């Protein structure tokens, strides 16, 4: 049973600039939806661990630094192009009491029901609309879950982490770690050696791609692809500011016949993935931005059928668990709902330096075969 205990709008604690912010072509080809994520915090036996007012005060301060988030996604009245209208209206904030314990979420499966339970519901991601909504849920055992709905046109994974770090720093009273976000998207106008950790990631992606093809029972002559979003922040010359807030991301893809991918060693798939990622250069990125100028941008966000493909999103480089609001780091951070079949998210495991958490969405009749195939491949690779 869920009981909503508060629903309000949190506005910036101080005056903020009122103006419009241009969205780049790369922002607008992102998925037009709200990314649903949540963080789970144990009470650790402490009483009254539901400091709503402390959180709201920290949020109000964070919205001064990240003031565009308290605005609205709108459209240019002349061109109809999406843009940020920095109005300072605030973000949606609600609190709930949920008759459940943290044990109920240990083996959670992302779903529409999970999203509705833990993440604020936003009726439409079409402009005009809000940019962010936040929900604090108190469980029967005293633990807390904080859910975020972030509009993907404006907030990618890197940007979300930047905001969470700022919000949690204000909640702890630690102002020394507050960054200065960079909102000038006009840096994207129309006109590295492989380290061990990177090799490890490539092998994991190749393994997941191979196991997915086997689990789906794809014919040997079918062409399959692994789609990878690539962050351009450090690929542009000069690089974008470290605190760039937006979606400087391009999708690239590795393509192979199922027979070749399944019959060869993992290095075969790893090389295909590495070559696909290496193709995303400064020159390629800027030329694509130019090309998008003559394209119907908002029609490109959605992918077609993923029945033979896999979209792999890595959050491994993000400090996703650096979100201490004064009561410790979360014990779990994840998506509340998947886009659908053919999507996989990789994130780190708390307190495990080399641990990788894999969250994958596949067809129901393929999932058990995928799990068995994955474990069999891992076991066979052991020395």
Catalytic residue among 152, 156, 185, 231: 152
* Terminal alpha carbon distance of the chain: 49
Hey, CA dihedral for 344, 345, 349, 353, is it positive or negative?
positive
Distance CA 315, CA 352 (A): 15
H helices then E strands: how many in the chain? Answer: 9, 15
Sheet of 132-139, strands arranged across = 2-10, 91-98, 132-139, 144-151, 34-41, 332-335
* DSSP code string of 295-362: S-GGGSSS----TTEEEEEE-TTS-TT---SSS---SEEEESS-SSTTEEEEEEETTEEEEEEEEEE-
Tell me, what DSSP letter sits at residue 239?
P
* Catalytic pick among 76, 260, 322, 324: 324
For this structure, is 324 an active site residue? yes
151 annotated active-site: no
Integer CA distances (angstroms), 199 to 21, 57, 194, 206, in order: 38, 43, 7, 11
Q: Which residues are catalytic?
A: 152, 324
């Amino acid at each position: 049973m869920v009981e909503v205990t508060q629903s309000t709008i949190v506005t910036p604690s101080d005056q903020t600039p009122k103006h419009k912010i241009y969205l780049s072509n790369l922002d607008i080809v992102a998925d037009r939806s709200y990314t649903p994520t949540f963080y789970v915090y144990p009470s650790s036996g402490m009483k009254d661990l539901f400091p709503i007012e402390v959180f709201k005060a920290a949020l109000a301060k964070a919205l001064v630094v990240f003031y565009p988030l308290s605005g609205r996604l709108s459209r240019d009245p002349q061109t109809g192009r999406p843009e940020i209208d920095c109005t300072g209206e605030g973000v949606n904030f609600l609190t709930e009491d949920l008759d459940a314990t943290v044990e109920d979420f240990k083996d959670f499966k992302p779903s529409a029901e999970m999203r509705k339970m833990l993440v604020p519901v936003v009726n439409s991601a079409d402009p005009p609309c809000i940019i962010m909504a936040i929900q604090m849920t108190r469980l029967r055992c005293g633990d807390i879950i904080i859910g975020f709905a972030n509009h993907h046109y404006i907030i990618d994974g890197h940007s979300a982490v930047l905001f969470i770090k700022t919000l949690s720093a204000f909640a702890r009273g630690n102002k020394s770690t507050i960054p200065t976000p960079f909102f000038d998207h006009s840096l994207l106008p129309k006109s590295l050696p492989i380290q061990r950790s990177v090799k490890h990631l490539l092998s994991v992606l190749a393994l997941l791609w191979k196991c997915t093809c086997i689990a789906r029972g794809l014919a040997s002559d079918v062409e399959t692809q692994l789609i990878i979003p690539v962050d351009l922040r450090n690929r542009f010359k000069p690089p974008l500011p470290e605190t760039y807030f937006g979606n400087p991301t391009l999708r690239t893809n590795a393509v192979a016949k199922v027979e070749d991918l399944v019959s060869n060693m993992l290095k075969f798939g790893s090389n295909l993935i590495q070559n696909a990622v290496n193709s995303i250069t400064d020159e390629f990125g800027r030329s694509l931005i130019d090309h998008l100028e003559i394209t119907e941008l908002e029609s490109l966000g959605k992918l077609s059928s993923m029945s033979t493909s896999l979209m792999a999103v890595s959050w491994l480089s993000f400090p996703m668990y650096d979100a201490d609001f004064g009561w410790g780091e979360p014990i779990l951070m994840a998506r509340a709902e998947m886009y659908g079949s053919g999507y996989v998210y990789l994130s780190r495991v708390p307190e495990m330096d080399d641990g990788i958490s894999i969250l994958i969405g596949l067809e129901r009749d393929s999932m058990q075969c995928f799990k068995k195939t994955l474990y069999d491949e891992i076991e066979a690779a052991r020395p």
